[in-house]
Chain A
Amino acid sequence: MIPGNFEYHAPESLPAAVGLLGELGDDARVIAGGHSLIPMMKLRLAMPEHLIDLRKITDLDYIKVEGGTCTIGAMTTQHTLINDAALKTAAPIVAETALQVADPQIRYQGTIGGNVANGDPGNDFPGLMQCLDATFTLEGPEGQRDVSAREFYEAAYFTARDDLEILSAIAFPVCEGGYAYEKQKRKIGDYATAASAVLLSKGADGMCSKASIAMTNLADTPIYCEDASALLVGSSLDADTLAKVVTACIDVIEPVDDNRGPVAFKKHAASIVLKHAIDRAWSRA
């Protein structure tokens, strides 16, 4: 389990890192927490010739809640996300999700930027970010641009991020109403068999006034369930509506047969986590 050889760089600022990546091009990869990349390098599924470590760029490690928006620096670890008081109030679904990612040691190292930039369908944050309608900020040789999380994922390990761009920040609106991240996994430290992120708001009339649903590890990208979310709005979450919502979600996922089970089982697991997530989110709305 020895990774291939590479040259190591640890620039001290984001412009320096972007410059270095631009110079070294395709032969270079950035490393954040390393807890997806190093396992891939051990298996020689990744063999970068240069690693650009972002660990010294301390101004990528922050959480800001301001003017109705949460902004999180790419190098913020999952451990920090769990323990940040302002974020717990503004978007409690983030800590609820982070607590279901991997195990304690991995959460001290794994960063939010690495988790969303990685492009592994098994990662939990991409679905959460689609549910939250987050925006990713990318910095490249041509400057800065923003991409919506709902448009970022193209296929497994393929995203809208250009190879020469570094993801610097993630922003999403402060949450209102109820929330839940529900994950079915075989054991602690495992990726999801099926997981679902749900945000629901209740209007003055007791009906659902806003809804957002996304699913994790049930296709080669996370899936934002636009139709299912729309079905919930205006309803009282009656049994009839819920059945339609579950069907609408199952219709848009494309799970594959693997060591976590056959397709039929995954669809079943997806419907269960979705129902649990909706129940919990509604009870908190």
Chain B
Amino acid sequence: MKKTNITLNVNGQAHEANVEPRELLIHVLRDHMDITGPHVGCETSHCGACTVEVDGRSVKSCTMFAVQAEGSEITTVEGLGNPDKLHVLQEQFKEHHGLQCGFCTPGMITRAHRLLLENPTPTEDDVRFGISGNLCRCTGYQNIVKAVLSAADIINNETEESLA
């Protein structure tokens, strides 16, 4: 099948690739662009390890063709923070033991990021429901929920301080 050239805007940078239309966004990010934050867990739209943000929506990138994301703004966990400057969510996952093996973590953090943008003051139930598309085999979720709630508190306090 004919390949096609696409440009994806990932974490504020344009990336080009020559792809078959059937190539999934997760594979193009990982294999063509070397953006390996989003993971391949189930490849069947269940686990959320592949979660990225596409135009302000949390998307399972194993269930979108890369050609469908042409022209969209994509954010992966790499776009949120880096080892020198962690994102608040990353810091709080570290602080609260929100990860063990870490396989689900990029998807969890990317999803939690969008959740807090849409609902900056979530209850525990809101967090659990909001991350229900992300599976974790290790933590039992308790510490992930704590980390997200704690990140929300910190973000809200910072906003209050900056307004004061």
Contact = CB atoms under 8 A, between A and B. Distances in A.
Interface stretch (B29-37, B59-67, B142-150, B152-160): B59-67
B44 interface: yes
B120 interface: no
A105 B44 contact: no
Task: Find the residue from A41, A79, A105, A109 having the highest chain B CB count within 10 A.
Answer: A105
Given A2-B22, A106-B45, A109-B57, A39 B132 contact: no
Interface of A: 1-8, 10, 31, 34-35, 38-39, 41-42, 51, 53, 55, 79, 102-106, 108-109, 188-189
B133 interface: yes
B20 A5 contact: yes
Given A42-B43, A103-B132, A34 B57 contact: no
Interface string B115-134: 10000000000000111110
Nearest to A39: B45
14 contacts: A6-B1, A35-B45, A38-B24, A38-B45, A38-B63, A42-B44, A55-B68, A103-B48, A104-B111, A104-B132, A104-B133, A105-B111, A108-B59, A188-B129
Contact of B132 (A8, A38, A41, A188): A188
B21 A51 contact: yes
Contacts of A109: 57, 59-60, 63-64
A38 B20 CA distance: 15
Nearest to B52: A105
A108 B43 CA distance: 18
B105 interface: no
B51 interface: yes
A161 B60 CA distance: 29
B147 to A, nearest CB: 18
Contacts of B67: 8, 10, 53
Contact of A5 (B22, B24, B63, B68): B22
Contacts of B65: 8, 34, 38, 51
A108 B22 contact: no
B19 to A, nearest CB: 10
A77 B97 CA distance: 35
Task: Find the residue from B44, B60, B68 having the highest chain A CB count within 10 A.
Answer: B68
A101 to B, nearest CB: 11
Contacts of A79: 57
B4 interface: yes
Contacts of A1: 43-44, 62
Nearest to A38: B63
B2 interface: yes
